[in-house]
A and B are shown apart, each in its own frame.
Chain A
Amino acid sequence: MKNIIKHIKKLNLFVIAIALFSCSEDFLSPAPTSVLNAATFFETEADLEAALINMYDGIQGVNSTQSNDNHGIQVEFYLTEMRSDNTRTKSSEGEAAQFESYSVQPTNGIVDDYYRSFYNVIFRANTVLAHLDVATPENLSKIEGEAKFVRAYAYFNLVRLYGDIPLVTSVISTGDTDVQFTRVSTSNIYDLIETDLSTAIGGLDNSSKLRASKAAAQSLLAKVYLTQGTNYTEAQQLCEAVMNSGFMLEPNFKNVFYNELNNEIIFAIGYQEDSADSQNFSAEWLNAVGRSSGVNYTTADVRIALDALGGDRTLYSYRVDTDQPTQFQVVKYLPEEDTALGITSTVTDRTKAGNDWIVIRYADVLLLHAEAILAGGNTTTAQAALDSFQLVRDRAGLTTPVTEITRQGLLDERRAELAFENHRLFDLIRFGEAQNVLSAFSTATGGSFNATDLLLPIPQREINLSLGQLSQNQGYN
């Protein structure tokens, strides 16, 4: 026995070797070095700022062709313009063509992409709201307002596209399946949107265009009221508040899109060309430049409308596809130069475009103002309405004074002014014309429109995961 011990002494060598291994302070708990630990992260207002910035990253989405990435706002046009009578795919290819033919499947990847992306944006906003305690008193209301604006914005898009949806107002976890799979009625969703926006209006100022601002919140709330057909006067007051905040129409319609952050922009989503923070929807709208062979191509229907009502705007709304002269592309947000139109571009790879996406601009607000005064009626001659309406038309070179605004006239004006900016479908629905207009349109284009196509299906993925708890929208199997 003794000599065993003696021998073991000789083994110190090995013992040391092990010591070297395990003496590092806690061998089994190496701290992450390339990422942070949230448990200890939110300590200062600066951290909160980082979380705010992250919300916009979520809306911007990933510029990739990976169908499982969140592409955020970059795929919105599929679900809005391409479901309206404004645009279609060039060669009716793939799942993108389900929208124009009103044969959207619950398994459609883009439908899931958008749902996924915007609930992720909501999560990012809720993350900020969950840590407001580290905000300094003087900035608290601004930070809260910014987060709530983004949350309201996301819900407003989701509720208009999917109808009754789960209402997530805090950071939830895997186990909270009741929240995840309970469809909350549209009106309750709107209640949250309205309170969030009111908070935002209270807390925000107008110092930013690519971030939430007071004016953005006011404009959005006005639209929320009009969408529900209530509070017309409040809507009008909100619009007037924005109109008194120093925004103006860009004299040249082209510059609205090619002179970024101009006076007309109230809220836009920023992108930077040739970087990870670029966007690819601009390329998708061209002939086989993006992943698709060309989407968001203009319909004959919209071209007729634009030729008739567009004035100066028509030139900067659509153009001939030089590769396929029978086809017509959207001119807004071009990622390449067009010498004929005097549009320049500096981007190297067009699929990494830097064109900002405009969410709210002044012209939109002016027309909302007229709409608020119309207050659900058929016509108005109120001077305030006529003034706003005229401003928009004057910029388009249509200077003959308007003496009366009709519902149809306003709807048409919005189509001409805001074509391809993802307003058309929502406008049709808001004006109660969607079913008439779109069933006629789809009959003409061989689609299969039903009233239930005005809502998208809840993504099949969610239905599947809910194990029967989540019900599908009518008209989808």
Chain B
Amino acid sequence: MNQKTKLILVFMFFCGVTIFAQDSYLLKGTVVSAVENAPLPGVNVIISNTSSGVSTDFDGNYQIQVKSGDVLLFSYIGFVSQSVIIDNQQPLTISLVEDASALDEIVVIGYGTQKKSHLTGSISKVVNEDLDQIAVSRVDDALVGQVSGVNIQATEGEAGSAPTITIRGAGSITGNSTPLIVVDGLVVDSDYLGSLDMNDVKSFEVLKDAASSSIYGSRGANGIIMITTKEGKEGDTKFSYNTFVGFKEARHSDAYTFSVAETAAAEEAATGSLSDRTLYKQLLNANTNWQDVIFDGGIISSHSFSARGGGKKTKFSTALNYVHDEGVLLTDDYKKYAIKLKVDTKLTDKLSFGLNLSPSITDRRRFDGSTHDILRQPSWLPVYLDANNIQFVNRLRDGGKYADAQIGDYAIQRMFDDYDLNTGMPIETGGTDISNTSNTNPAAKILERNRTDDKFKIFGSVYGKYDITDALSFKSTVGGDFQSTKRRRWQGVQSNRNGASAARLDLFNETRAHMSTDNYFSYDNFIGKHEISAIGGFAAEKWKFGNDFVAANGYESDKLQTISAATTIIEFGSEEYKKSLLSVFVRVNYAFDDKYLFSASIRRDGSSVFGSNFKYGNFPAFSAGWIVSNESFLENVDAVTNLKLRMSYGFTGNDVLDTNSNQIDRYPSYSLIGSSTSVLDGGLANGFNPLNIANEDLQWERLREINPGVDFGFFNNIISGSLDYYERTSDQLLLNNPISSTTGFTEALVNLGEVKNSGIELELRTRNVSTENFSWNTTLIASKNKNELIDFADSNGQIQSVDSKRAAEWINLEGNPISSFYGWVVDRDIPLEYLSNPYHPIGGQAQDVYVKDLNGDGLIDDEDKTILGNPYPDLVWSLTNDFKFGPVDFSFMFQGSHGAEVRNVADQYIFNHFNSSQDFISTTPDQGFIKQKIFTNSIIQDASYVALRTVNIGYTLPSSLTSKLKINKLRLYMTGQNLLYFTADNYTGFNPESIYHQSGSQLSTTYGYQRGGSPINKTISFGLNVEF
């Protein structure tokens, strides 16, 4: 037996399956390609209706046990299969004919489609094979690791929260780096991904390079994700039902688990005795693990039903989807109900018409708190009062505040202060204090609040297509999406230390209407060897936003949570704003003799955001390709099946702003005036307050990209893939840049600077083994990106911070990434004996640290600050292996990211930080060298990780069985996410991918801030997929 069959056996063994050979004679032979008469390796040679088969070796040779009468089936991807009846032939040489259609996979590009073989830009296609089996509530979560150059980070991790998607690095420098989402040809709000049903998705195409995305001009700067939903096919109606249930748990951080015992041990070891506080904590005997309390885990379940079919003229596709994700955090919960209807019909042989309608409702309950705040809680504090700890409750202190505490009440730190260890009784004052906050119980903060986001979304579009001639057609689409969000936030009586007086209800209603129309001619024609396809048309888009809010207080209890039950309206307001976009576009694709490919396009966009002088932007693109493998001189090179060189160059733009004001984002060219109120002698008076510094000259952020690449397939695509190099340069960056507050403002919108992202992308697919009943494919996807600030004009070297209370600094320095962490360098820790409370509340941690004197002048000042790292990964990769063994399929994906750092401020909260302005004693030496850790690299941590993203095992019932059940297909599967997750040693947080973004602050110039973040979800799920 040869190498390969051994291998197969190994896997048979794995699958616990054995097969029996039968006696017969050993047939030998060769398989060649009909045209070049070249040997074909890896051809499947199978005896029909059996599970036995082999595949040809590198020289196209095969040998297989057969007996007369057998039907031998030769199949090979890209070739027309052949079957031969065995009649003692020896040897048997077969020549397979290439299947022309197979190579011409169709790829969706902006305003139309194109043969994959003719692509000159960088576009990746992901066909939804088993993405819908990944137990996530959003489609974008399922795309992780699927496409090179696309980095999807679970930056929030709350159930239903959107991940951050970046294509080829921080493309646009504004806070918004989300790619444009196009569903069935119509631009939609990126939030639409939240309501889309993965089961209804046919494929994703990701347009990565500027040349490909520039047909969407100003919308394309962050790349484009084109989503094609499934449509009905002619024939009997096919029903499909897919369901899974997943069990989620949070990835804990050992660094943040502390038991009273540990602290005590540390103290005893160091001092030889225990302080009163520690002794008392031991008495309380609670030892709460707050991670267990807050990360309560959850169940995610999904049901999706679809019916697709149609006749000659009309095809339809309809789907129902329900997802319920409990999330891993306390109280977070996400429900999605989606309906989908898609109808395409030919009215006449020239005029066709289609309609697409998908309403959805999502109900989301938020985790209304922050993990870092809860996790700083000491482990001695119980969640509820119980029979033991209630005896320590101090009913005397705080003016008898806790006099009537009862078992089952929330435990509050202050309840346990002033305990007299000698008498074993709480006393009014002068006892042992162990509280380090007056806040209420952290669990109460979460459980006694109810914060919900309920959305209704509807996406609809209608198109008409008219074939003017065979080659020329006109298509017009009118559609849009409407979204209504109701945010409600109830802060209950027990959620705040101030009790009923702090009870409060906030209501926030938001509507968002987006209308758009595309109208374009397309022309597709062959003239001899010339293949031309061109489009030209125009598009218009319009957004209308509105919101209103009201907040009230004065509630006695949680009973009636309505505005009318309040005594006072404390805040209220409303606003509306608009945006519009008008575009003209043309594109010509030309191919000569399937060898030489050219494409040129230009789009002119007008945006309402900019002032009259700068409304319009032009976004041209040009690309060319050369299919070398179709050249005669390669025809006889067997190794090379497919080789294409391509080069693209194009421009895109960006007009999306991210200040913390909706108004400024839409009308930055005006100096705006909002309302303000003031209390004067006559009571409240209304005034008008300037909101911004106008910038009439604000204009398009421009992005230009050059992208040489090669697509290759060797040995009849046993090895195939593509390699891209890109250099994308954004200039005139739209920044809400910090400015001196002496202007009356703290930031202003500017076009500033230039940033370069350059990198390499590799997609490598290998068909390691491919036989009828066993196949093994490997996909390696890797992208390396380098982000560099080329020019920052007068702001070069600008230092800024996101939060004036915790003013950790970032620097924007040319020659480095757009934002780098900045500050002092840790020298050494402060010896415990110099800490005022070394073992309280958490053992052996200081908020301060000795830093290095970089210039040696004996003073720690700004001159001793330096770059401490940057938040951009250098390498993001994924390695996927798919195995098919008969009815069993198995796949797993490892995914990793390397080279990024985060500033994990959670440490500051958790280790007794911010507990006092200075927690070292006055006799501490070299106090001039001591700084708060937050200003040092002490909390700069390596954010690299390697994760076993998905594991998927499926079993498809044999058709013999299913046909009895009158069903076409029945598949059982089991998937796991993040079952393994490795982070760097010095990373202490929950989720290296998590990024905290304070709205209004510039995400790009102060990137990489992390406040503990919500944890990575570990999920194991079981699913069932039926088609009938």
Question: Given contacts A38-B690, A54-B687, is CB(A465)–CB(B916) below 8 Å?
Answer: no
Distance (whole angstroms) from the CB of B427 to the closest CB of chain A:
11
Cα distance A456–B679 when bound, in Å?
30
Which residues does chain B contribute within 8 Å of A285, judged by CB atoms?
A: none
Residues from 85 to 112 in A contacting B, C-beta threshold 8 Å: 91-98, 101, 103, 107, 109, 112
Distance (whole angstroms) from the CB of B579 to the closest CB of chain A:
7
Check B501 for interface membership: any CB of A closer than 8 A. yes
Question: Given contacts A53-B680, A288-B438, is CB(A466)–CB(B498) below 8 Å?
Answer: no
Which residues does chain B contribute within 8 Å of A173, judged by CB atoms?
A: 693, 743
Q: Please give 15 more A-B residue pairs, beta carbons under 8 A apart, in addition to A115-B741, A461-B801.
A: A22-B582, A29-B612, A36-B688, A50-B686, A68-B1000, A92-B916, A97-B918, A107-B801, A107-B807, A124-B689, A172-B743, A174-B739, A349-B553, A464-B809, A477-B862
Q: What is the 8 Å Cβ interface bit string for chain B, positions 644-675, against chain A (1 contact, 0 not)?
A: 00000000000000000001001100111110
**Sorted from nearest, which 10 A-B pairs have the closest CB atoms?**
A123-B744, A53-B687, A288-B438, A270-B679, A97-B917, A477-B861, A67-B805, A464-B799, A54-B687, A180-B740
Q: What is the 8 Å Cβ interface bit string for chain A, positions 45-68, against chain B (1 contact, 0 not)?
A: 001001111101100100000011
- When the two chains form their complex, are residues A109 and B804 in contact, meaning their CB atoms are under 8 A apart? yes
30 contacts between A and B (CB under 8 A): A4-B468, A11-B476, A14-B474, A28-B606, A34-B574, A35-B673, A37-B672, A38-B672, A50-B686, A56-B680, A57-B677, A57-B689, A95-B805, A101-B917, A109-B807, A112-B741, A116-B741, A120-B745, A122-B744, A208-B680, A270-B678, A272-B679, A274-B568, A275-B570, A275-B684, A277-B679, A287-B438, A326-B429, A350-B498, A464-B809
Which residues does chain A contribute within 8 Å of B570, judged by CB atoms?
A: 274-276, 278, 349, 352
Interface centre among B474, B553, B685, B691 (most CB of A within 10 A): B685
Which residues does chain A contribute within 8 Å of B684, judged by CB atoms?
A: 272, 275, 277
Whose C-beta in chain B lies nearest to the C-beta of A446?
B922
Q: What is the 8 Å Cβ interface bit string for chain A, positions 2-14, against chain B (1 contact, 0 not)?
A: 0010011011011
Cα distance A123–B674 when bound, in Å?
15
Q: What is the 8 Å Cβ interface bit string for chain A, positions 264-303, against chain B (1 contact, 0 not)?
A: 0000001110111110000000011100010000000000
Whose C-beta in chain B lies nearest to the C-beta of A276?
B571
Which residues does chain A contribute within 8 Å of B504, judged by CB atoms?
A: 349
Check B359 for interface membership: any CB of A closer than 8 A. no
- When the two chains form their complex, are residues A14 and B476 in contact, meaning their CB atoms are under 8 A apart? yes
Question: Given contacts A34-B574, A123-B744, is CB(A28)–CB(B615) below 8 Å?
Answer: yes
Cα distance A179–B226 when bound, in Å?
50
Question: Given contacts A36-B673, A348-B567, A464-B800, is CB(A93)–CB(B468) below 8 Å?
Answer: no
Cα distance A7–B679 when bound, in Å?
68
Check A181 for interface membership: any CB of B closer than 8 A. yes
Question: Given contacts A22-B582, A288-B438, A461-B807, is CB(A37)–CB(B670) below 8 Å?
Answer: yes
Which residues does chain A contribute within 8 Å of B542, judged by CB atoms?
A: 21, 27
Q: Which residues of A contact B (CB under 8 A)?
A: 4, 7-8, 10-11, 13-14, 17-18, 21-22, 27-30, 32-39, 41, 47, 50-54, 56-57, 60, 67-68, 91-98, 101, 103, 107, 109, 112-113, 115-116, 119-120, 122-124, 126-127, 166, 168, 171-174, 176-177, 179-181, 208-211, 261, 270-272, 274-278, 287-289, 293, 322-326, 348-352, 356, 446, 459-467, 477
Pick from B48-56, B395-403, B699-707, B783-791 the stretch touching chain A. Answer: B395-403
Which residues does chain B contribute within 8 Å of A37, judged by CB atoms?
A: 670-673
Whose C-beta in chain B lies nearest to the C-beta of A181?
B740
Question: Given contacts A35-B691, A211-B681, A270-B678, is CB(A465)–CB(B917) below 8 Å?
Answer: no
Whose C-beta in chain A lies nearest to the C-beta of B581?
A28
Whose C-beta in chain B lies nearest to the C-beta of A37?
B670
Which residues does chain A contribute within 8 Å of B578, judged by CB atoms?
A: 30, 33
Residues from 497 to 520 in B contacting A, C-beta threshold 8 Å: 497-498, 501-502, 504, 515, 517, 519
Distance (whole angstroms) from the CB of A213 to the closest CB of chain B:
10
**Contacting A33 at CB < 8 Å: which of B576, B606, B746, B918?**
B576
Q: What is the 8 Å Cβ interface bit string for chain B, positions 749-777, against chain A (1 contact, 0 not)?
A: 01000000000000000000000000000
Cα distance A463–B671 when bound, in Å?
27
Which residues does chain A contribute within 8 Å of B579, judged by CB atoms?
A: 30
Question: Given contacts A274-B570, A348-B568, is CB(A22)–CB(B540) below 8 Å?
Answer: yes
Distance (whole angstroms) from the CB of A98 to the closest CB of chain B:
5
- When the two chains form their complex, are residues A53 and B685 in contact, meaning their CB atoms are under 8 A apart? yes
Cα distance A53–B676 when bound, in Å?
8
**Contacting B680 at CB < 8 Å: which of A112, A270, A477?**
A270
**Contacting B538 at CB < 8 Å: which of A18, A30, A179?**
A18
Check B472 for interface membership: any CB of A closer than 8 A. yes
- When the two chains form their complex, are residues A289 and B680 in contact, meaning their CB atoms are under 8 A apart? no
Distance (whole angstroms) from the CB of B512 to the closest CB of chain A:
15
- When the two chains form their complex, are residues A92 and B576 in contact, meaning their CB atoms are under 8 A apart? no
Distance (whole angstroms) from the CB of B439 to the closest CB of chain A:
8
- When the two chains form their complex, are residues B680 and A211 in contact, meaning their CB atoms are under 8 A apart? yes
Interface centre among A41, A120, A127 (most CB of B within 10 A): A120
Check B450 for interface membership: any CB of A closer than 8 A. no
Whose C-beta in chain A lies nearest to the C-beta of B418?
A324
Distance (whole angstroms) from the CB of A44 to the closest CB of chain B:
12
Distance (whole angstroms) from the CB of B285 to the closest CB of chain A:
26
Cα distance A95–B918 when bound, in Å?
9
Cα distance A27–B678 when bound, in Å?
37
Interface centre among A17, A208, A465 (most CB of B within 10 A): A465
Distance (whole angstroms) from the CB of B296 to the closest CB of chain A:
28
- When the two chains form their complex, are residues A57 and B678 in contact, meaning their CB atoms are under 8 A apart? yes
- When the two chains form their complex, are residues A107 and B687 in contact, meaning their CB atoms are under 8 A apart? no
Check B963 for interface membership: any CB of A closer than 8 A. no
Interface centre among B540, B568, B673 (most CB of A within 10 A): B673
Interface centre among B570, B674, B803 (most CB of A within 10 A): B570
- When the two chains form their complex, are residues B740 and A466 in contact, meaning their CB atoms are under 8 A apart? yes
Residues from 797 to 835 in B contacting A, C-beta threshold 8 Å: 797-801, 803-807, 809
- When the two chains form their complex, are residues B582 and A28 in contact, meaning their CB atoms are under 8 A apart? yes
Check B536 for interface membership: any CB of A closer than 8 A. no
Cα distance A41–B674 when bound, in Å?
11
Cα distance A133–B804 when bound, in Å?
38
Q: What is the 8 Å Cβ interface bit string for chain B, positions 45-72, against chain A (1 contact, 0 not)?
A: 0000000000000000000000000000
Whose C-beta in chain A lies nearest to the C-beta of B544?
A30
- When the two chains form their complex, are residues B916 and A107 in contact, meaning their CB atoms are under 8 A apart? no
Question: Given contacts A109-B805, A277-B678, is CB(A36)–CB(B672) below 8 Å?
Answer: yes
Question: Given contacts A37-B670, A53-B686, is CB(A209)–CB(B859) below 8 Å?
Answer: no
- When the two chains form their complex, are residues A467 and B797 in contact, meaning their CB atoms are under 8 A apart? yes
Which residues does chain A contribute within 8 Å of B437, judged by CB atoms?
A: 293
- When the two chains form their complex, are residues A50 and B688 in contact, meaning their CB atoms are under 8 A apart? yes
**Contacting B694 at CB < 8 Å: which of A38, A122, A352?**
A38
Whose C-beta in chain A lies nearest to the C-beta of B661?
A35
Which residues does chain A contribute within 8 Å of B663, judged by CB atoms?
A: 32, 34-35
Cα distance A277–B572 when bound, in Å?
12
Interface centre among B464, B677, B797 (most CB of A within 10 A): B677
- When the two chains form their complex, are residues B554 and A34 in contact, meaning their CB atoms are under 8 A apart? no
Cα distance A459–B399 when bound, in Å?
41
Cα distance A33–B578 when bound, in Å?
9
- When the two chains form their complex, are residues B501 and A350 in contact, meaning their CB atoms are under 8 A apart? yes
Cα distance A80–B357 when bound, in Å?
63
- When the two chains form their complex, are residues B742 and A68 in contact, meaning their CB atoms are under 8 A apart? no
Check B738 for interface membership: any CB of A closer than 8 A. yes
Whose C-beta in chain A lies nearest to the C-beta of B836?
A92
Whose C-beta in chain B lies nearest to the C-beta of A275?
B570
Distance (whole angstroms) from the CB of A253 to the closest CB of chain B:
23
Cα distance A108–B155 when bound, in Å?
29
Question: Given contacts A34-B663, A93-B917, A109-B804, is CB(A116)–CB(B693) below 8 Å?
Answer: no
Residues from 589 to 607 in B contacting A, C-beta threshold 8 Å: 606-607
- When the two chains form their complex, are residues B517 and A56 in contact, meaning their CB atoms are under 8 A apart? no
Cα distance A464–B739 when bound, in Å?
10
Cα distance A459–B805 when bound, in Å?
12
**Contacting A464 at CB < 8 Å: which of B568, B577, B798?**
B798
Which residues does chain A contribute within 8 Å of B673, judged by CB atoms?
A: 35-38, 41
